[in-house]
A and B are shown apart, each in its own frame.
Chain A
Amino acid sequence: MALILNGDAELWAIVLLSLKVSIFAVLISALIGMPVGAALAVARFPGRRVLIVLMNALMGFPPVVVGLLVYLMLSRSGPLGVLELLYTPTAMIIAQVVLVTPIIAALTRQVVEMLAEEYSEQLRSLGVSRLASVPVLLWDARLALVTALLAGFGRAIAEVGAVIIVGGNINHVTRVMTTTIALETSKGNLALALALGAILIGIAVAVNAMVSTLSLQAEREGLRHA
């Protein structure tokens, strides 16, 4: 606890890097996952069902395996080896994007599909095509979509398997909270591990608090006019 309270510089550097990597990963995932999810919700084409099943399966993909696959892609002899990204924060972001995008896409699809059903006849009576209705649906689903983002962030920040493989857990470069906890625990340095664990839990609680605050806020918005 003293480590947290004393503002240990090394500890906070690790925390900051964790946040930076995961926030970037979530933003990129949102840019990919939301349009894909929304498109899957409203478009009708052969193979759509298969894609949805695949996407849902990807949600539960083991991080270690994702780490391995990204490693193979980025390693010297891999197809993207020339970029020399292995063991950099960028590599960790890529791995987390692979992990988080399916979550955001799948949750977006669920939310938008439900909403699309509710809006369907109304929008058709207004002469709006299915694809043209996407912006309206995304906007009206915004609260649920923020929840999807936070869920994705939760997965990204807590994940250890993928980032340790592609990041390498290099001190001051790719060492994040989860990888530090794993390392320090095996070294027997429980104080640092516990301090980071506490912060990680704190972040998880904060994220959850934000989710419920958001839904509460929506409710209050309703009550204010009462």
Chain B
Amino acid sequence: MKTESTTQPVIEARQLDLTFQTNDGPIHALKDVNLTVDKGDFVSFIGPSGCGKTTFLRCIAALETPTGGALTVNGMTADEARRNRAYGYVFQAAGLYPWRTIAKNIKLPLEIMGYSASEQEERVKKVLELVDLEGFGGKFPWQLSGGMQQRASIARALAFDADILLMDEPFGALDEIVRDHLNEQLLALWARTEKTIGFVTHSIPEAVYLSTKIVVMSPRPGRITDVIDSPLPRERPLDIRDTPEFIEVAHRVREGLRAGHTDE
């Protein structure tokens, strides 16, 4: 079905700029951002608040419009990609609607896209399994723990066949034990679905554990200070975090973050 060659980058940003006009004057949210993301990459964006990591993710999702430079997603403009439903987006807060059950929440995109009732059922069942929430379809969001809600939110983003998954600090509000578990699950899910994932975080271990590519960003103006291609294997048990390779990558990320800070 897909005609584009496998070598075409999934996301490509060239000299991307974004300036917000506010009452206090312009804010340079992104400056000269260049990045290429290939199919199947797991890319993390890491940096202190105000570094533009979420803004960049939102640009890819066409929820924000850059004021300069070029950005393509699946070879299209970001807005075309959005209208073509190229990506599933997991928001910072799970953003489940309290008046819909978990299954109904996951069905929302499917209803909009006009899937048949039986197809909807089938897909809900499949994605609930993927995120380890079998049997919770009939529950309401408030009956689930924070981690389970976030998993349901991921399931919603997976329900239709977007091959890009964009996640904005999805586990930021969760405690570390739950976060470890979800990170492990997310890697398993990524391996099974072969999706390209863009992931915003401010946790160094999380970024290093998950990513094949780590994008280190710094604020004022928001820009990329380092892009690290992870030497870690794709298969990663949790205890990989104690290996010298892991610690070395984490060290380089920390250095990148520090370098960004001394610029101020």
Which of A127, A132, A225 is the one whose CB lies under 8 Å from B143? A225
Q: Once the chains are docked, how many angstroms separate the CA of A122 from the CA of B95?
A: 8
> Is there contact, CB below 8 Å, between A127 and B82?
yes
> A125 with B87: in contact, given A136-B108, A136-B112 (CB under 8 Å)?
yes
Shortest beta-carbon distance, B144 to chain A, in Å?
A: 11
> Is there contact, CB below 8 Å, between B84 and A127?
yes
Say whether A126 faces chain B, with CB atoms less than 8 Å apart: yes
B contact residues around A48 at 8 Å (CB): none
Q: Which residue from chain B places its CB closest to the CB of A222 in the assembled complex?
A: B140
Say whether A123 faces chain B, with CB atoms less than 8 Å apart: yes
Q: Once the chains are docked, how many angstroms separate the CA of A125 from the CA of B108?
A: 12
A-B contact count (CB 8 A): 50
> A125 with B101: in contact, given A136-B111, A225-B143 (CB under 8 Å)?
no
Say whether A226 faces chain B, with CB atoms less than 8 Å apart: yes
Shortest beta-carbon distance, A60 to chain B, in Å?
A: 30
We find that the number of chain A residues with CB closer than 8 angstroms to chain B is 19
Identify the interface centre among A122, A218, A222: most chain B CB within 10 Å of its CB. Answer: A122
B contact residues around A225 at 8 Å (CB): 101, 138-140, 143
Say whether B40 faces chain A, with CB atoms less than 8 Å apart: no
We find that the number of chain B residues with CB closer than 8 angstroms to chain A is 26
B contact residues around A222 at 8 Å (CB): 140, 142-143
> Is there contact, CB below 8 Å, between A218 and B99?
yes
Say whether A10 faces chain B, with CB atoms less than 8 Å apart: no
> Is there contact, CB below 8 Å, between B112 and A140?
no
Say whether A216 faces chain B, with CB atoms less than 8 Å apart: no
Q: Once the chains are docked, how many angstroms separate the CA of A126 from the CA of B111?
A: 11
Q: Once the chains are docked, how many angstroms separate the CA of A226 from the CA of B191?
A: 33
Contact with A along B62-87 (1 / 0, CB 8 A): 11000000000000000000111101
Which of B63, B100, B143 is the one whose CB lies under 8 Å from A140? B100
Q: Which residue from chain A places its CB closest to the CB of B109 in the assembled complex?
A: A126
A contact residues around B61 at 8 Å (CB): 125
Say whether A128 faces chain B, with CB atoms less than 8 Å apart: yes
B contact residues around A125 at 8 Å (CB): 61, 63, 82, 87-89
Shortest beta-carbon distance, A145 to chain B, in Å?
A: 13
B contact residues around A118 at 8 Å (CB): 97
Q: Which residue from chain B places its CB closest to the CB of A124 in the assembled complex?
A: B63
Q: Once the chains are docked, how many angstroms separate the CA of A143 from the CA of B108?
A: 18
> Is there contact, CB below 8 Å, between B84 and A140?
no
A contact residues around B138 at 8 Å (CB): 225
B138-191, CB < 8 A from A: 138-140, 142-143
Nearest 5 interchain pairs by C-beta: A125-B89, A127-B83, A225-B138, A222-B140, A127-B85
14 contacts between A and B (CB under 8 A): A119-B97, A121-B63, A121-B95, A122-B89, A125-B61, A125-B88, A126-B85, A126-B112, A127-B84, A132-B112, A140-B99, A143-B99, A222-B140, A226-B139
Residues on A facing B (Cβ under 8 Å): 118-119, 121-128, 132-133, 136, 140, 143, 218, 222, 225-226
Residues on B facing A (Cβ under 8 Å): 61-63, 82-85, 87-89, 91, 95, 97, 99-101, 108-109, 111-113, 138-140, 142-143
- 17 other contacts beyond A127-B82, A127-B85, with CB at 8 A cut-off? A121-B91, A121-B95, A122-B95, A122-B108, A124-B63, A125-B82, A126-B109, A126-B112, A126-B113, A127-B83, A128-B112, A136-B111, A140-B99, A225-B101, A225-B138, A225-B139, A226-B139
